[in-house]
Chains A and B, each alone.
Chain A
Amino acid sequence: MSNYTISIRSYGVHAVLIEWPNQVEEVILEDIIQFKEHLIKSCLDSKSWEIILAYNSLTLVYRQAPIDFDTFKGKIKEWYAQKKPIEKRGKLLWKLPVCYDVSFGIDLEETCNKLNLTTEELVRLHTQNAYTVYGIGFLPGFMYLGGLSKELEIERRASPRLLIEKGSVGLAGKQTGIYPQESPGGWNIVGNCPVSMFNPKNENPCFVSVGDKVQFYKIEKAEYNLIKIENEVGVYNLEKSKIDA
């Protein structure tokens, strides 16, 4: 198991930032996840520490007292050297329904024109890949997804909208994603997902974890309405499968 050269920096007195090479790569993400699991299992009191994983970094947050950075940096180095590959972590592939109807996909036509694609081609390209979740942040339940087809890369809208509907599925640069709640935003909206990405009533409010994969599939409006209701009353079962089982 080859380890990366990691950089360890203090980030205020309550956090430490650990960075891997500045690249969006699944092998790096996998290494970070393994280290995170190792930290939670064997090194840190997981009740007192919070860990934020995003792309090539882990941020460890401890609010109860200032962190003695020099001592802690040494420990992190030791812990990273001790890290062993974990066997069969339960990574999941989530299948998420998206309705690409123009009533939801308010930028669908414009996006297709700009990308020189038909709606069918755009939907096919958007639904063919399983996207890797490289981070969750920005808003509760917002996933940073990697693995978008080159053909779907499009600039952000010139001026952001003040309000984008909850569930909106958008494209921006190398990214695609779902707005988990109403929010201002500058992404090009091509559809809507009827499944709530964040439910504060659940003990685990967001079913997806960093490292999981997400694949979209197309649904029609009637099905959208049904899933939306099923999801709201809590009887909708998401399709999921184990990736590395």
Chain B
Amino acid sequence: MLKVVKAGFFTTIQDKGRIGYLNKGVPVSGSMDGNAALVCNQLLENDPNAAVIEITMTGPILEFTIDTYICMGGAEISPILNDTLLENYKVYKVNSGDMLSYGRLKKGFRAYLAIKNGFKSEEVLGSKSFYYPITTEKKIASRANIPYEKCSNFSPKLNALRLQNILDENVILVSRGPEFNLLNDGQLTALFSKEFSIAKENNRMAYQIKENIEGLSYSMLTSATLPGTIQLTPSGKLIILMKDGQTTGGYPRILQLSDEAICILAQKKYGDKVFFKLE
């Protein structure tokens, strides 16, 4: 068991998401920075779908009760195992009784803790990803116990990886969304020449952009939306749907983020600056 001594700001369990229920209105969920989670699982030679812990902004305090191996990734949030500062994308052995805590958030917004063979928490509709009320909890609570398997003799093929750092990246690569053609020249210029900042309203469902552009009053029938879809409201607000985003919507879908761009955006917090670039 992993004992959660303190839960942190918003800590959840995520895998690759809940597949096969979009037609019933169920968002896909899964790790917001899917690449970071995947690399951690790869270094641990896990199934790519193995469940990891997603840490947002402020880290938890965790106690390991059995020996295993872990790997951290994503945001730089100063993980400390007992007294030792850990690096991202490096495999570490942990022993029963070891304490993992986190210091200052230096870069990014979401960090991942992967464990050998993945966390063995409750699976609902084919996924361990938290999404309330499909899962009974919204986020991991303090004093929770998260099951995992013992592993004491793992020798990783690759002990550490130096990744191209996306945490400093501020260019969000987009392609044309289904309603792209409704945009006028003024709106296009605004979208692709200005710097935008992340609004306070940002979470696993959607990221809103602080600066409005000229709105789009277009009455369309409700249609599918995807993670990474940028909607433009009549009042000119830009809303970027993320992994827990609704599966259908009625606002024009002007742009679509690439998979990589979703990961980059997932590492942004309130006030961070981004640019949109059309593929």
Q: Which of B24, B223, B259 contacts A55 (CB 8 A)?
A: B223
Structural contact, A54 and B22, CB atoms closer than 8 A: no
**Interface hits, A9-23 → B, CB 8 Å:** 9-15, 17, 19, 22
Q: SS class of chain B's interface: helix, strand, loop or mixed? A: loop
Say yes or no: is A135 at the interface (Cβ < 8 Å to chain B): yes
List of B residues within 8 angstroms of A26 by Cβ: none
A180 to B247, CA, bound (A): 15
* 8 closest residue pairs by CB, A with B: A137-B248, A59-B224, A12-B256, A52-B224, A55-B221, A206-B24, A137-B247, A57-B223
Structural contact, B258 and A138, CB atoms closer than 8 A: no
List of B residues within 8 angstroms of A63 by Cβ: 19
Say yes or no: is B97 at the interface (Cβ < 8 Å to chain A): no
A56 to B223, CA, bound (A): 8
Q: Which of B134, B222, B257, B258 contacts A144 (CB 8 A)?
A: B222
A73 to B13, CA, bound (A): 37
Structural contact, A14 and B226, CB atoms closer than 8 A: yes
Known: A22-B221, A206-B24. A137 touches B178 (CB 8 A): no
Q: How many A-B residue pairs have CB under 8 A?
A: 109
Say yes or no: is B175 at the interface (Cβ < 8 Å to chain A): yes
Q: Which of B19, B20, B224, B229 contacts A137 (CB 8 A)?
A: B224
Q: Which of A12, A19, A135, A138 contacts B226 (CB 8 A)?
A: A12
- List chain B positions with a Cβ less than 8 A from chain A: 19-26, 124-125, 133-135, 175, 177-178, 220-224, 226, 228-229, 246-249, 253, 256-259
Structural contact, A205 and B175, CB atoms closer than 8 A: no
List of A residues within 8 angstroms of B246 by Cβ: 137-139
A17 to B175, CA, bound (A): 14
List of A residues within 8 angstroms of B253 by Cβ: 11
A200 to B20, CA, bound (A): 13
Complex: chain B residue closest to A15, CB-CB: B226
A198 to B131, CA, bound (A): 14
Contact with B along A167-186 (1 / 0, CB 8 A): 00000000000001110000
Say yes or no: is A123 at the interface (Cβ < 8 Å to chain B): no
List of A residues within 8 angstroms of B24 by Cβ: 136, 140-141, 198, 205-206
- List chain A positions with a Cβ less than 8 A from chain B: 9-15, 17, 19, 22, 24, 50-57, 59, 61, 63, 135-142, 144, 180-182, 198, 200, 205-206, 210
Known: A54-B248, A200-B125, A200-B134. A13 touches B224 (CB 8 A): no
Structural contact, A57 and B22, CB atoms closer than 8 A: no
A205 to B222, CA, bound (A): 22
List of B residues within 8 angstroms of A11 by Cβ: 177-178, 224, 226, 253, 256
Complex: chain A residue closest to B181, CB-CB: A9
A139 to B222, CA, bound (A): 13
Q: Which of A9, A13, A22, A51 contacts B258 (CB 8 A)?
A: A13
Structural contact, B23 and A136, CB atoms closer than 8 A: yes
A138 to B251, CA, bound (A): 12
Q: Which of A10, A14, A24, A142 contacts B221 (CB 8 A)?
A: A24
5 CB contacts below 8 A, A to B, read A12-B257, A15-B226, A22-B221, A51-B23, A137-B249
> Could you tell me the distance in whole angstroms from the C-beta of A36 to the nearest C-beta in chain B?
9
A50 to B126, CA, bound (A): 15
A137 to B226, CA, bound (A): 12
Q: Which of B20, B134, B222, B228 contacts A140 (CB 8 A)?
A: B134
A12 to B229, CA, bound (A): 9
Structural contact, B19 and A135, CB atoms closer than 8 A: no
